[in-house]
Amino acid sequence: MQVCYNLEQIPLLHTRPAVSVGNFDGVHVGHQALIKALVAQAAEASCPAAAVIFNPHPLALLRPQRQVFLITPLEARIRLLEDLGVDIILCLSFDQALAALSPHDFVGQILVRRLRARWLYEGYNFNFGRSGKGNIALLRQLGDLHDFQVEQVEPVMMEGAPVSSSRVRQAVAGGDLSWAAQLLGRPYRLWGRVVRGAGRGGKLLGMPTANLEVDGLLLPPPGVYAARAGLTATGRVYSAVFNLGLNPTFSEINTPRLEAHLLDFSDDIYGQEIWVEPARFLRPEKKYERIDLLKEQMSRDRGEVRKLLADKDVYNPEKES
């Protein structure tokens, strides 16, 4: 797969591609249905399957007063789209110039002149161009003008409503990780770089933690979770105790900190990317008056994680018995 970060990087295509434009935050089951239809068309026509995505999220520019927390960071979105069979990803910087393009100019300059699209696959609620004035009806008109075919992919419905990134955000923010996993078609996952923390996890508590830098990402409610964690570089996966909160026992911070203690693991992974899948909420954070009481609770947390994650269906809370 080839990733292009501007129009000049688009390779010379010998056959006109099948293209889909969207933010694809989360790459949830609705996105997956759309991309699978795109890839199937590309395979049938022996042409590339291309996706046009944006960074940062368009709402960060269009509605700066409304903070949008990403379900998946850019690198993860790219990997997920690649896994679905996309051949070319054009990642455009969503800036004032791009936002100002009219629907006609967006199609003419990017989809026609640069990508030479033969097919456009979009969802039922697709909007594009300045102020989102472009829609499927206009896209079909432009397709007739520029010789490309528009295919509208119907939404994936769950519990009477289309699957959407907004519904995933609501599920995760509300702590319903089982429902989020159904909407995503996989467990909810956080990606981040390991940064240095206070260093007390290993030295003082005997439980070294990886502190994650995940600015701008969607987070579940604060607390302690049973989780799975993996190293992106090696693919190794570990059971983990995942903590999201303010470390009230030490009272040193006023913004949430994310820490993952990987069971049976002690390597130095500073600077590396890891992912964490919080699978089951264990308990809220609590301030302990003595360090030994905190250590005892952490030991119990580890034991509970080992027991819970032996169950492959840990994301289904109704399986408890």
Asked if 44 is an active-site residue, the reply is no
What single letter denotes the amino acid at residue 164? S
> What DSSP assignment string belongs to 72-136?
S-HHHHHHHHHHTT--EEEEEE--HHHHT--HHHHIIIIIIIIT--SEEEEETT--BSGGG-B-H
* Rg, the chain, Cα only: 22
Token pair for 97: 């110039």
Q: Tell me the C-alpha distance between 240 and 91, whole Å.
A: 33
Distance from CA of residue 177 to its chain's centroid? Answer: 14
244 closest CA partner among 262, 233, 264, 260 = 260
Neighbours of 164 (CB within 10 A): 20
Helix (H/G/I), strand (E/B), else coil: 288 = coil
Written as six digits, the tokens of 16 are 């006109």
Rounded CA-CA distance 225/240 in Å is: 8
Please name the helix (run of DSSP H) or strand (run of DSSP E) that holds residue 42, with its range, or none. helix 29-45
Question: How far is Cα 69 from Cα 217, in angstroms, rounded to an integer?
Answer: 5
What letter represents residue 62's amino acid? Answer: L
What residue has token string 């896994």?
Answer: 83
147: number of Cβ within 10 Å: 11
Of the CA atoms within 13 Å of residue 85, those in its CB half-sphere come to: 18
Reference 242, options 205, 204, 199, 280; nearest CA is 280
Q: Which of 259, 273, 285, 289 is catalytic?
A: 259
Instruction: Check: CB of residue 47 under 8 Å from CB of residue 14.
Output: no
Active-site positions read 259
